[in-house]
Structure 1
């Protein structure tokens, strides 16, 4: 073979191998949060016993994005930028998270779900597609059970319905530990009580110790269309738990995102957004 041609083939092969390695290992890193687009409206809504931060973008059929534990609405920058082009996008900080306040009332998924239901009423929204990640996905499932009239569909990524759906070694995982560190720094920047992160974590950890605790009968009563999503390298949620959920929620669909982890919306935003659009189209 001509030496130049051989060199080119070697270069191309090396590039392909490198690309495959990068693709296969993207699940092992926590990308930086993207910049947030400029909001059309934002504010602090008086919800239950807290002040809840929210922001709205774009126009069209409404989509509510609900974030995970210790996080904030700012995790959704890639999704907001995509969906504001043809949808009314709503994001919020769950109670105690980000810019929203918390009270002495114990955390619970029913309480957090009631916050989001009240926010939809505050914004005069009848029904939304809810895209939830981790705790946000659990809130979506809770709402599907308790307030189905508020939902067009639920797309729940990395959610669990019992505490044994969590992996025992999640806190030893570097990517997940990196997220906890980033969440702490973000809390200090956004929160009205920047020095109370440890107190907040202690308060919400009491909820995580015992919730959620739903039964197969609870899940069987869900009538809202549900798409259950998990990355094939999720650090926190067991795949077989998600598969069990898909069997117990009537008509639900299971989607496994390739080469992603608990943080798929950051690791593969293009694929994540396509997944949402497919779910909304019933595919």
Structure 2
């Protein structure tokens, strides 16, 4: 495993890179970094070139200038692909990273081979009530603190990726061409009806609702997750599983 710093016009992006084979880009959730994928990196690097990105404003990547948006982070992903000279990539995105994967897959379909999205939502009201309340509360608090603390102002932008910046539409999801695996826990912070709606809109998709699992199912049940995600990446299906 090695660390790579990629220079962009608006700061540097950090990636952890390991393994050889078809490229697999990992996109972490809001407020996290690439280390959330520890169990996935060790598993998938046996068969893939795993590129675990710290997205803009997270981990070792710079925040850059201006407001954080999905459009700007999607441009960062294009920068990563250019750096590694990749025409297409498999993407695995968790939580907010799953939302970003959906955005990238819909706006740059020619760049995506396969998608795996875990605990994603394309509308803010896809979050369960308690989680949505928490997002709004944190945003308001950071708005106040951000008036005199730069760190809080930047943190508010990160939180806002889950609220005002989440601008996916039904038409966006219908534009996704890549085979897509949609995963959520039975006890996820995302409404199950919302997860099923994503499955309905992404035409070429499979759905897996993992029993007795939370939003962090890929950490809690990493062996099970890694196994069915591997099957999907190799076979485009989950023929060995009774998925929902």
| Fold-level similarity (TM above 0.5) | yes
Where in structure 2 are the equivalents of 1:83-94 lying within 5 Å? 83-94=44-55
User: Any unmatched runs of 5+ in structure 2?
Assistant: 139-148, 238-244
1:46 is aligned to 7
2:43 is aligned to 82
Q: Does 1:246 align with 2:199?
A: yes
Please point out which of 226, 230, 234 is paired with 1:277.
Answer: 230
Query: Structure 1 residues 263, 48: CA separation in 2 closer, same or farther (over 3 Å shift)?
Result: farther
Contact 1:94 1:100 in 2 (8 A): yes
Report which of the two structures shows the higher radius of gyration computed on alpha carbons: 1
1:158 is aligned to 119
Greater relative contact order (CA < 8 Å, ≥ 6 in sequence): 1
Q: How far has the Cα of 1:197 moved from its partner? A: 5.0
Aligned-pair Cα RMSD in Å: 2.0
Q: What TM-score comes out, normalization by structure 2 length?
A: 0.86
Contact 1:48 1:118 in 2 (8 A): no
- CA deviation string 1:117-141 (max 9, x = no partner): 2111111122111010011111111
| Structure (1 or 2) with the greater helix fraction | 1
2:94 is aligned to 133
2:130 is aligned to 169
Q: What TM-score comes out, normalization by structure 1 length?
A: 0.74
Contact 1:63 1:131 in 2 (8 A): yes
Q: How far has the Cα of 1:225 moved from its partner? A: 1.2
Where in structure 2 are the equivalents of 1:130-279 lying within 5 Å? 130-170=91-131, 198-234=152-188, 236-279=189-232
- CA deviation string 1:229-268 (max 9, x = no partner): 101111x211110101111111211111122111112101
Q: Aligned partners of 1:163, 1:244: CA distance in 2, in Å? A: 14
Please point out which of 63, 66, 70 is paired with 1:105.
Answer: 66
Q: Aligned partners of 2:215, 2:74: CA distance in 1, in Å? A: 21
Contact 2:103 2:172 in 1 (8 A): no
Q: Aligned partners of 2:133, 2:102: CA distance in 1, in Å? A: 28
User: Any unmatched runs of 5+ in structure 1?
Assistant: 1-38, 181-194
Q: How far has the Cα of 1:150 moved from its partner? A: 1.5
Q: Aligned partners of 2:133, 2:104: CA distance in 1, in Å? A: 31
| Structure (1 or 2) with the greater strand fraction | 2
Q: Aligned partners of 1:107, 1:95: CA distance in 2, in Å? A: 8
